Structure 1
């Protein structure tokens, strides 16, 4: 059941008069999203893949985007600035009835737009979307233990530490641990 107060397309003004638009991804975004993924793979070691490792064709990405759009417990959020993709947030839940209320998300932002508040805006969107879904009751994430800015944001948004996962990443011949964090979601009244 949709809550009438949730807007799927949202607009914000950031520092330096930058205009941010948050919206669900569309199948026609496939090519641009794959270029975005390749760009962030080369800019950040906080993602689970490096340059050339993502491994999806444009048609596979288009199919995936259609599936996400048709699944009420999945979200692929695009953050745009000046018509270009500045960031994404993806969330998917379990498929079976016993686990479809819980899922994990990941956020990626182009380095040019780090520290402008885009991550916080996308997280707020996700939390509001989850509350109005009538289904999602728990948001989970994994974050490198040395990614202090992300950890600070998650804590500020109410996420709590639920554990530490050893050797979660292997980058440059070194293992890196991750924190598992979660946020319990209370539904909006009437959903």
Structure 2
């Protein structure tokens, strides 16, 4: 699915949120590797589950064609600095819900980019008749949990000892969802 582009200026930074296009594939591949190395809040370590340019082209094309998928880009001066995806399910019994994921390069934290990606995804979901947006967040990511709660997400449960981080300790993954019923 595609949305109209929107521009924002927060804390002096001007950026655009728009739908991903095939021409973004190479930049997305690079940003994903970089962001995975900047935080342990995501599922992967840097370079794991690598998606190359052709892989991202395939994802972008599928997400554009499917009415219950949305792939958004955050862009500053024609540079991709973050992205989000809502991935729906093709099964009838699960077609009312999507799973949300987001990442932003560390140099661009504090400018509301993650919040705007989330906001645009929620608006699209509500307009598209999506009844549930779910996500997973590391228990230590308090900033993200507060952001999700601000937008109406509630904790549904947790996956205990779900992630082992670089300190060798195990952490829980929090399951959250926003319902629109």
TM above 0.5, yes or no, is yes
Flag as ranges the 4+ runs of structure 1 deviating above 6 A: none
Matched, 1:15 2:11: yes
Matched, 1:46 2:41: yes
Q: Deviation digits for residues 82-138 of structure 1, max 9, x if unmatched? A: 11111111110121011011121111011011111111111110110001113x110
TM-score (structure 1 length as normaliser)? 0.89
Partner of 2:22: 27
Contact 1:127–1:185 (Cα < 8 Å) also in 2: no
- Unmatched tracts of structure 2, length 5 or more: none
- RMSD across aligned positions (CA): 1.6
* Correspondence for 1:72 among 67, 71, 90: 67
Q: Deviation digits for residues 143-173 of structure 1, max 9, x if unmatched? A: 0111010011011111111111112212223
* Correspondence for 2:53 among 44, 51, 58: 58
* Correspondence for 1:101 among 69, 93, 96: 96
Partner of 1:160: 154
Provide the C-alpha distance between the structure 2 equivalents of 1:74 and 1:174, rounded to a whole number of angstroms: 34
Shift in Å at residue 7 of structure 1? 5.4
Partner of 2:163: 169
Secondary structure in 2 matching 1:43: coil
